Amino acid sequence: MLKKTDSGILFMLGSALISAFNGAITKILSEDISALEIVFFRNLIGIFIILYALKHTPPKLSGGKIHLLFTRGLFGFMAMILFFYTITVIPLGEAITLNKTSPFFVTILAFFLLREHLTLKTLLALLIGFMGVVFIVKPFGLTFSYAHFLGILGGFFAAAAYTTIKKIKDIYDSRVIVLSFVGIGTLMPALLFLLAPFIAVPQALAFLFPKFILHLSVYTWALIALMAFISTLSQWLLTKAYSAKNLSVVGVISYTNIPFAIGFGALLGDKFPDIFTFLGIGLIIFGGILVSKK
């Protein structure tokens, strides 16, 4: 029988692989529907999954601080739409790597909002992670893009969502927290779809206000359903992985979704990363491992 830590590694490897595959499905779907529609349908299906789980086993925690629950959902929605959009416009490996900057932002937000202490090692990890971002987005070169900025911003909102979870995890059932995420992640796109015909926005924000088109293709619906299913599976594997004893080892394994994503991206026609991008990815992984170690 596998040791608990070993099984945690296997669960995390499975979660990382499925997470990268999920990104590949998003990239394929983006050829037919907008990123906002992908977010809308993904979360709509997620609502039914979570409601079924809650009906099967009702939550026991009392709840409270509804404003923080709403804030978590809003931050989660912003993180998801920015992440999905960047997947559609830059190579998959780069999009997932930029999203992996969230641990650095979590550390910064925890310092300012939760008064957690910053050690010298943590500051070094933040600097290494920042240098990794610089190598990927190349701000002083011709390859810098607005999409890379949005990818980093998505990492920030993901960190804000994780930080909010820290404040409500002991008063809300985890499924209720996820329900707030998928619920707001369904309502916000619906609102943006309704507003889209009546407002004019800059091109930089056009991805937030696309025209809603109901696609009846069986192929498209099959991909959406597959995405919803494997996203739920990935979250389950992630939960199982973090139930292992050695969280630092399991956390390191989570970064394997980056090479998985590069592989899937290459299969879908993404340009293979150059040496600077690989160096940036390596620095972000190293910094992320450093900042996660106690």
**What angle in degrees, to the nearest 10, is found between the helix axes of 35-56 and 66-89?**
140
Q: What does the alpha-carbon distance between residue 140 and residue 41 come to, in Å, rounded to a whole number?
A: 38
DSSP string spanning 58-75? ---S----HHHHHHHHHH
pLDDT in tens, the chain (294 residues): 455 556 777 888 888 899 899 999 999 999 889 999 999 998 998 889 889 988 888 888 777 778 888 998 999 999 999 999 999 999 999 899 888 888 788 778 877 776 777 788 888 888 888 888 888 877 655 455 888 899 999 999 988 887 887 788 778 888 888 888 889 999 999 999 999 999 989 999 999 999 998 877 899 999 998 998 888 788 778 767 765 655 556 666 778 888 999 999 999 999 888 888 899 899 888 888 887 665
Tell me what pLDDT residue 3 has: 54
Give yes or no for a contact between 265 and 97, defined as CB atoms under 8 angstroms apart: no
The rounded distance, in Å, linking the Cα atoms of 120 and 285 is 18
3-class secondary structure, 273: coil
Distances in Å between the Cα of 170 and the Cα atoms of 39, 75, 95, 182, 253 are 28, 19, 32, 20, 27
At residue 169, the pLDDT reads: 78
Q: Which residues contact 204 (CB under 8 A, 6 or more apart)?
A: 146
pTM (2 d.p.): 0.85
Judge whether 268 and 27 are in contact, CB under 8 Å.
yes
**Where do the structural domains in the chain lie, given as residue ranges?**
4-292
The percent of the chain in helix, strand and coil, each rounded to the nearest 5, is 75, 0, 25
Task: Locate 266 and state its tokens.
Answer: 């290459």
Where does residue 69 rank: exposed (0-12), middle (13-18), buried (19+ CB within 10 A)? buried
